[in-house]
């Protein structure tokens, strides 16, 4: 079994910054892509940013130049540095990871999700 635990959300004024973290734990063999998604009230969950195990990144257009995704493969942690935050960035942010884990004598893949962390941008 694996678990993703997020931290770092909160209330921030427009123009401010927050750093989200998401740590993976459990019987992990390997982690491939990791990413951040968000879901605003009344909207569908959307991709924010992804990063491969090799460090290649991809961003949703509205966050390019403001958000930076990074990861620490030793700590099995993915980060999202969010700068120049806008009210429209308000959402619950979820991390996701493509994980291969030990299940008895087998290796099994799973797309795992964190529980979500609230980010509110408001004056």
Mean pLDDT, residues 21-25:
97
pLDDT in tens, 63-86: 999 999 999 999 999 999 999 999
Percent of the chain with pLDDT over 70: 100
Is it the case that residue 25 has pLDDT exceeding 90?
yes
Q: At residue 117, does pLDDT exceed 90?
A: yes
When the pLDDT of each residue in the chain is averaged and rounded to a whole number, the result is 96
Distance CA 89, CA 93 (A): 10
Query: Tokens 């962390």, residue?
Result: 117
Query: Which of 4, 22, 11, 13 minimizes the C-alpha distance to 78?
Result: 22
pLDDT at 1 over 90: no
Mean pLDDT across the stretch 41-52?
97
Q: What is the pLDDT of residue 61?
A: 97
């Amino acid at each position: 079994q694996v678990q993703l635990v997020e931290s770092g959300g909160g209330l921030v004024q427009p123009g401010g910054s927050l750093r989200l973290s998401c740590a993976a734990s459990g019987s992990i063999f390997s982690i491939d892509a990791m990413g951040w998604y968000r879901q605003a009230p009344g909207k569908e969950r959307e991709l924010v940013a992804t990063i491969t195990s090799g460090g290649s990144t991809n961003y949703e257009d509205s966050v390019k130049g403001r958000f930076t995704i990074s990861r620490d493969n030793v700590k099995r942690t993915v980060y999202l540095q969010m700068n120049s935050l806008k009210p429209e960035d308000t959402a619950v942010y979820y991390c996701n990871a493509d994980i291969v884990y030990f299940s008895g004598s087998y290796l099994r893949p799973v797309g795992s999700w964190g529980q979500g962390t609230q980010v509110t941008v408001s004056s």
